[in-house]
Chains A and B, each alone.
Chain A
């Protein structure tokens, strides 16, 4: 079960993600999260409380970040758990979204 909490400071918005990012997170990502991020110039996805991301979840993340990047917004992904990072590395997410995406 995926959920998130937003923290807005100035032009910066932090998305504290929680739970698994998989196919079930799709509607939340597209219908709730994406519209909410419309305001911010800088978006930080905090994945500290995300233990599992599957291939569908990677697809959701890519779409979200690419859409934001296309609108020339700065995006960071931070505090990724080691197990999740391994999956990101396998799929070469840094190559897809830009090497500076992780911090």
Chain B
């Protein structure tokens, strides 16, 4: 049931309007004989808003009143966030106030002494708008709350940092909307052998997050069981096609996976359409871990080549998703070059601080970003 508040210093006017509205079926009508009284009903004290808005859906507000006039009252009410969507219709006998009245936030006006149908039509459309706005607000709050829950859920499956005597892995993870299509994972096969994976599902938002989360749930098994890049790549592709291959739109993800052997000081990797990982060593040119095959999920049969490189300690490997280096209108290679130089300038930082600082490279982004830094000590 909609609630209407009439504010007018003329009792006769209030009686008349109440009568017309009641006859049309509006039962919940409140009256205020001054702006002060209206503030009181709305819970406004000394210009301060109430914690919760009063249950008023529409205000019919007289313009010419002693002390505080309707225009001043309207401006004050509309300034308060809790009443931003509350429609106010001015009651006036004189068009001279119109410009001021609309500037103050009034949505409509009713000429005093006009026909009843005009009053009722304007009241009806204002209430309809209010109802739609309320419904939209409830829906938005519900979606927002849902997304927040999903965000926490997704964050809860992220791996905690790893800090072992010979290896450290730290991450930085940022969802562009509430949830992300990026995901990472690592596994210690033995104290001397590790697998590290980073994936970036195409697109972003909820659809990408659904894919990244379903893939995440398979990783304990896929990485745990297959371990070696070639086999991990083949199995990821098989599962991705099995799960999402029948989708109307092509779903795929780019991925980079490293199998690190600390005894042999050797890294074997595949890079499926992912931006190149960067291997840094002090006083040496960075080495790029370039693409070896197509993204996962696109082709039934994909190339399963891997690359093996050796390293000397201390070394650091940076893996990242394209959100960090991609800016519309500029070359992605330029972005990667900037990242490489920036990372070298931060080399002195410990691994956790290092990965946190790298994020600053791209602050104007609308894509998900994930960065991993692997320190080989």
Contact = CB atoms under 8 A, between A and B. Distances in A.
Interface in B261-310: 273-275, 291, 293-295, 298-299, 303
A52 B328 contact: yes
Given A90-B273, A91-B295, A83 B331 contact: yes
A58 B295 CA distance: 11
Interface residues of B, number: 28
B215 interface: no
Contact of B200 (A23, A55, A92): A55
A55 B322 contact: yes
Interface stretch (A9-17, A59-67, A70-78): A59-67
A60 B293 contact: no
B254 interface: yes
Contact of A51 (B200, B254, B293, B329): B329
Nearest to B273: A91
Classify the secondary structure of B's interface with A.
loop
Contact of B249 (A51, A59, A86): A59
B353 to A, nearest CB: 29
19 contacts: A52-B329, A55-B203, A59-B202, A59-B249, A59-B251, A59-B252, A63-B249, A63-B250, A66-B250, A82-B331, A83-B331, A86-B333, A87-B326, A90-B291, A92-B291, A92-B294, A95-B294, A96-B295, A96-B299
Interface of B: 200, 202-203, 248-252, 254, 273-275, 291, 293-295, 298-299, 303, 322, 326, 328-333, 367
Interface of A: 20, 23, 26, 30, 51-52, 54-56, 58-60, 62-63, 66, 82-83, 86-87, 90-92, 95-96
